[in-house]
Structure 1
């Protein structure tokens, strides 16, 4: 029986090698109008820091197991179970998760002393005997597993090409944002997005929970916010809100995939849903009507009322208790109805509230024109036409020690139309085709801002015109993949001609996951 198994394993490996060679042979023949597809290690997205193809493949087949080690922490076991779950569906294989390091298969190895791999890096080594994933942390093992997914066939068993990937991220913060306030979306759709993002090593999900059109998270201290303020959306739809339990579930689901949730309660502007729910938050005590349009900048909390600060303390306190992550986002953009002096005074107190609840402030870059608290993170959403003075304030804040997240609207906003023919989306920052969204370097984007001040990048998706999952995913994909690479890959790897081929190679994977991506004409899709 052992001889038979050994022979069968040899045949599987040989078949996988022949299959890979045949596929590369097909890829090597240029199709009309497009360049040859890259070899497996050159297809990886984001592009790894180092990848070398070498030796024979590993036969990923019926006998493959996932090994987590005999003394591995429970978290490593969970990473192995999740990887098995991710691989079982496409491959059709049982992929049992077992303890012990001896024997073939896929081995997860935690090496606490591998300091060169940092908090999220990994090493993936493939030989005919198996695939070894090595990292200093469970997060690194998870990222290694996502790379392994891309080295395997989209469907069915096959071969993992021989070689080694050694990889670490360029930036610590690699984010995407979704606005559930303008149009309401259930938690299940956001979980789906988490899965889509995590496989490309995005590690942060910023959730815009409140705006003029809706308040989407229940608050025990102010129940009418969700019950009344959440019962609407752009265009007059029914809206909706998440319960605390649903939000906790989302946060836990994301954490299992090493994605940190950053919740945003926008203030002092973008608050009509809150004002409509509680008139006491206005200066005249009169609640406005609920709002279903798309204009911005007309609403404001009453900065002079102590009740306003009781409100933000209680609401942010509940949110902090629900959120194990480091950050609370307090918005701060487009507060045109709040005089500059009032804005600065309000943001002073709001930042104190966040600190009191044990979190770090994140705010849109307008906070730079007020008084950012020590350690406050600024999120820049300007664009090519943003005033020089506004950019200079952000650069000065960055040099003064405030980390900056880059989300330039004419590069990173996923709700900007690809072109004039795009049906959903807006174009106030201009059209953002796939090449433009990729072709910038976060490390040198803002003149004068040192790369050391750049915490990372984030791709926001605002939903004024986006009401369905299909439109959401069409606008996000494939541009969010480019932002994933900008956040992860070394600066030397950022190259559009090579990237467009790696992006094209993702087409079968996106199709298999039923993601309705935009087939950008500048990409030679497979």
Structure 2
């Protein structure tokens, strides 16, 4: 019975209509017009970009090479070309909108600003990577975001990730046209992740806990301290990396609550004048910064400076 079910399932799917790659885009564009024919990406394909879009052109060229081993060269906007140009119509598409016109002999991405060209490039890269044939179906895509703020939060306090891993996150967010990355950089569970040179104990002590798991019963699952932090130079590099992909990073530093890591490093800012326990594991939210303590405001101002 099982073998029959598999057999008929294969027949059913083999008889189905071939999926057009234009229908597989994520997020779905505002408008798609499907035309007959394909553009065949090849070693002879060239790229032409307006001066304002040269950085996006370099980004696109490097990613095409990674996907296909084809290194696009600069060339005239003639046949077998990909063109990145200023939008002459559709001003209603705003700063982040674009049109992507795919014809048999050329592809044109047009936008008002580099942001829009970048998002058009992301759409085209999805079409290139959808299979290994390097054939892109003809059509016209008109697209702009529905929401100005398209955000994602990454909790780095409870789980520390290497900088390169965070950059991979940024690449995936860019592919999906997300433009805001909220980094949760501090919390109770031994999770102070940002270097503050004026207060070195925040990372010397507050960035570590005794267990990988931040909730009990994980206290005995590690033989050494777990944690880590990012230096100011590393975070500056990350901000620049995200900005090159038109993503704004919003750092979050918890205060006055969720401050056990802060108090573990500087107990004088607690309401009790003693160390917090939460640098070992999660124990609750009983350690806020003391609002009636002048040292609390000194530390907060020093951190934010």
Q: TM bucket by the smaller chain?
A: 0.7 to 0.9
Provide the residue aligned with 1:52 in structure 2: 33
Find 2:180's aligned residue among 198, 201, 204.
204
Q: How does 1:261-272 map to 2 (within 5 A)?
A: 261-272=249-260
Question: Residues 51 and 296 from structure 1, CA distance in 2 versus in 1: closer, same or farther, beyond 3 angstroms?
Answer: farther
Once the two structures are superposed, residues 11-66 of structure 1 have per-residue CA deviations (whole angstroms, 9 ceiling, x without a partner) of xxxxxxxxxxxxxxxxxx7429x976642222111111100111321111111122
The structure with the largest helix share of the pair is 1
Find 1:31's aligned residue among 13, 36, 42.
13
TM-score (norm 1): 0.51
CA distance in 2 between counterparts of 1:100 and 1:308 reads: 62
Preserved contact between residue 209 and residue 217 of structure 1 (Cα < 8 Å):
yes
CA distance in 2 between counterparts of 1:251 and 1:285 reads: 36
Provide the residue aligned with 2:55 in structure 1: 78
Find 1:304's aligned residue among 274, 292, 297.
292
CA distance in 2 between counterparts of 1:206 and 1:30 reads: 45
Provide the residue aligned with 1:437 in structure 2: none
Find 2:204's aligned residue among 227, 231, 242.
227
Shift of 1:86: 1.4
CA distance in 2 between counterparts of 1:35 and 1:287 reads: 65
Q: Quick check: 1:126 aligned with 2:102?
A: yes
CA distance in 1 between counterparts of 2:252 and 2:284 reads: 17
CA distance in 2 between counterparts of 1:154 and 1:174 reads: 24
**How many residues are paired up?**
284
Q: How does 1:340-489 map to 2 (within 5 A)?
A: none
Question: Residues 241 and 55 from structure 1, CA distance in 2 versus in 1: closer, same or farther, beyond 3 angstroms?
Answer: same
Preserved contact between residue 92 and residue 156 of structure 1 (Cα < 8 Å):
no
Q: How does 1:215-364 map to 2 (within 5 A)?
A: 215-232=192-209, 234=214, 235=218, 237-317=225-305
SS of the residue aligned with 1:266? coil
Shift of 1:268: 1.5
CA distance in 2 between counterparts of 1:215 and 1:112 reads: 49
Shift of 1:223: 1.3
CA distance in 1 between counterparts of 2:94 and 2:110 reads: 12
Shift of 1:152: 1.9
Provide the residue aligned with 1:446 in structure 2: none
Once the two structures are superposed, residues 464-523 of structure 1 have per-residue CA deviations (whole angstroms, 9 ceiling, x without a partner) of xxxxxxxxxxxxxxxxxxxxxxxxxxxxxxxxxxxxxxxxxxxxxxxxxxxxxxxxxxxx
Unaligned runs of 5+ in 2: 1-10, 220-224
Shift of 1:89: 1.4
Q: Quick check: 1:175 aligned with 2:145?
A: no
Once the two structures are superposed, residues 188-232 of structure 1 have per-residue CA deviations (whole angstroms, 9 ceiling, x without a partner) of 111011111210111111110000111001001211111211122
Q: Quick check: 1:194 aligned with 2:176?
A: no
Shift of 1:294: 3.4
Bigger radius of gyration among the two: 2
Q: How does 1:7-26 map to 2 (within 5 A)?
A: none
Unaligned runs of 5+ in 1: 1-28, 318-526
SS of the residue aligned with 1:82? helix
Provide the residue aligned with 1:390 in structure 2: none
Preserved contact between residue 107 and residue 131 of structure 1 (Cα < 8 Å):
yes
Once the two structures are superposed, residues 226-254 of structure 1 have per-residue CA deviations (whole angstroms, 9 ceiling, x without a partner) of 12111225246421111111111111111
Question: Alpha carbon RMSD of aligned pairs, Å?
Answer: 2.3
